[in-house]
Amino acid sequence: MKKIFITGATDGLGFMAAEKLIEQGHQVVLHARNKTKAEIVHQKLPNAKAVVTGDLSSISQTYKIAEALNRLGTMDSVIHNAGVGFKEPYQETEDALPHVFAINSLAPYILSCLINKPKRLIYTSSGMHEQGDTKLEDLLWDKKKWNAAQAYSDTKLHNILLAFAVSKRWPDVFCNVVSPGWVATKMGGAHAPDDLEKAPETQIWLSSSEEKDVQISGQFLYHKRPKNYLSAANDTQLQDRFIDFCESLTLIKIP
């Protein structure tokens, strides 16, 4: 039995993963954006170990999520599942950051830095990362040039850069990144072509299995198998540039 934390667990793939892991007997800590969503998801999954609340678009609330989780002890696995989609309109957070960057890119960085180091880390990317900007020239995007699909693609590249950077810094942690596919969740839309049932399987497997095949790190996976990804993500200088930028915004370093 493992203790597993899942961000964005109130619906979609996060909820599906949580439901399966609880059925398997694991102690699952859920994350919800606010108290109302927390109450609803706890009613749906009453056997969850706990629910922590906080808006990942807010730096201060993301800090509090990490603090609340650490009070519950050290997790065996953390699944960074939360995210907003490729149709997200331009909007700024209370920290004057683009909403999509704050949730998709910066929140996983903050939580990675502040949560007690788990044994396993799973980040969530997308096939759209292949259209991500490998120059990292405009990480926060010019509002006048806003392109929602490009911004989303950029953040999904950021997730790979973060996962690979953390895997190098923490050789004692199994740290990987997953593409669940384009599936018919609220984010993906009703006409998404990939298999919804298979979409959370890799996250469940990496976070809970005792198979030797999960004892890997620095991998990009799709349906439990390595998948080709943008080769630029292997560039350690690019990884460090992203990490340094996140550090400059938050004033916290990866331990």
Token look-up 């550090």 returns 247
CA dihedral in degrees (6, 80, 104, 254; nearest 10)? 120
d(CA 202, CA 222): 7
Active-site option among 152, 186, 198, 227: 152
Half-sphere exposure of 199 (CA within 13 A, CB side): 24
d(CA 46, CA 39): 10
156 catalytically annotated: yes
Active-site option among 109, 156, 222, 229: 156
Instruction: Encode the chain in three state secondary structure.
Output: CCEEEECCCCCHHHHHHHHHHHHCCCEEEEEECCHHHHHHHHHHCCCCCEEEECCCCCHHHHHHHHHHHHCCCCCCEEEECCCCCCCCCCCECCCCCEHHHHHHHHHHHHHHHHCCCCCEEEEECCHHHHHCCCCCCCCCCCHHHCCHHHHHHHHHHHHHHHHHHHHHHCCCCEEEEECCCCCCCCCCCCCCCCCCCCCCHHHHHHHHCCCHHHCCCCCEEECCEECCCCHHHHCHHHHHHHHHHHHHHHCCCCC
Residues that are catalytic: 152, 156
